[in-house]
């Protein structure tokens, strides 16, 4: 299955400046493994030490947060859009 | 409060139209008593914002808190798509401090996600909102100029 992966600005440097890339995989996890094989610099920003999605990253399959689907096991269909979003947060505390 | 480092020569000046400035401040006031947040989109050259702002995108504060904010990811996604369609990128984020100064808090510094971004702080602690802009890189805060015209 070929999906379009939308990259946040922080990850574009690892993909020669591209704002999105095509990647293959039956699940979001497989798509990410393919991405990391091509762009090893992304690994640390995508997957945490526990092998799960990095906690400072949100991933949407089309319009749905994969945390509320099947996380990295979320299935991917041809033409899906996988968006990688940084967790943008802060505050006076 | 630590002093802001002097602006580096290459530091951009944030340039907002009066309309953009009003949208940001109005969104912060509308968000009271909670902190409000939104994204700035515009051109990047060589991975650095030029300071020009193509769009301001009010977002929901997913924390709905007076002390913290998290940009609602769906709103961030919408801003990213809008930016992409215009050939722009996310160049920064704004949020309000309801009772403290327009200066990045330790939380803001710790959670600063992108060293290229412009971090806009709007303080609402006095009657007149105060808007200031910073770059946060390796936990070093650099104040940027702001021009509203």
- B2 contact partners, CB below 8 Å, separation of at least 6: B141
Contact A90 B111 (CB under 8 A): yes
How confident is the model over B52-109, as pLDDT tens digits? 999 999 999 999 999 999 999 999 999 999 998 999 999 999 999 999 999 999 999 9
How confident is the model over A34-44, as pLDDT tens digits? 999 999 999 98
Give kind and range of the element (H or E) at residue B123.
strand B118-123
pLDDT tier, B4 (very low <50, low <70, confident <90, very high otherwise): low
- Indicate the SS3 state at residue A20: strand
The pLDDT score that the predictor gives to residue B2 is: 57
The pLDDT score that the predictor gives to residue B28 is: 97
Predicted TM-score (pTM) of the model is 0.89
CATH of the domain at B92: 3.40.140.10
Chain B's closest residue to A17, CA to CA, is B47
How confident is the model over A47-90, as pLDDT tens digits? 888 888 887 899 999 989 999 999 999 999 999 999 999 999 99
The pLDDT score that the predictor gives to residue A45 is: 85
Is pLDDT of B115 > 80?
Answer: yes
Contact A89 B99 (CB under 8 A): no
B75 occurs within a structural domain: yes
Q: Is the dihedral of CA B90, B18, B124, B136 positive or negative?
A: positive
The pLDDT score that the predictor gives to residue B91 is: 96
What is the domain extent for residue B56?
Answer: 30-140
B115 occurs within a structural domain: yes
Is pLDDT of A28 > 90?
Answer: yes
B80 occurs within a structural domain: yes
Closest Cα in chain B, distance from residue A25 (Å): 22
B85 occurs within a structural domain: yes
Name every chain B residue with its beta carbon within 8 A of the beta carbon of A83: 77, 80
In terms of Cβ atoms closer than 10 Å to its own Cβ (0-12, 13-18, 19+), residue A68 is exposed
Where do the domains of chain A lie, and which CATH numbers do they carry? 2-86 (3.10.20.30)
Chain B's closest residue to A13, CA to CA, is B47
Structure tokens at A46: 């995508």
> How large is the ipTM?
0.86
């Amino acid at each position: 299955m070929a999906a379009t992966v939308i990259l946040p600005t922080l990850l574009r440097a690892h993909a020669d400046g591209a704002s999105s890339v095509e990647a293959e995989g039956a699940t979001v996890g497989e798509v990410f493994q393919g991405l990391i094989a091509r762009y090893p610099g992304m690994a640390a920003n995508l997957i945490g030490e526990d092998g799960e999605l990095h906690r400072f990253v949100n991933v949407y399959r089309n319009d749905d947060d994969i945390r509320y689907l099947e996380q990295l096991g979320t299935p991917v269909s041809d033409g899906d859009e996988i968006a990688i979003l940084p967790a943008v947060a802060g505050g006076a505390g | 409060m630590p002093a802001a480092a002097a602006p580096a020569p290459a530091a951009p000046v944030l340039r907002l139209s009066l309309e953009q400035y009003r949208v940001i401040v109005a969104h912060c006031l509308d968000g009271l008593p909670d902190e409000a947040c939104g994204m700035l989109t515009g051109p990047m050259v060589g991975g650095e914002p030029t300071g020009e702002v193509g769009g301001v995108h009010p977002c929901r504060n997913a924390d709905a808190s007076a002390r913290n904010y998290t940009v609602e990811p769906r709103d961030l996604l919408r801003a990213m798509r809008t930016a992409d369609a215009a050939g722009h990128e996310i160049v920064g984020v704004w949020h309000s401090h309801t009772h403290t100064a327009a200066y990045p808090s330790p939380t803001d510094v710790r959670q600063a996600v992108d060293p290229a971004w412009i971090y806009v702080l709007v303080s609402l602690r006095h009657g007149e909102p105060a808007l200031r802009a910073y770059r946060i890189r390796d936990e070093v805060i650099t104040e940027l100029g702001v021009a509203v015209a």
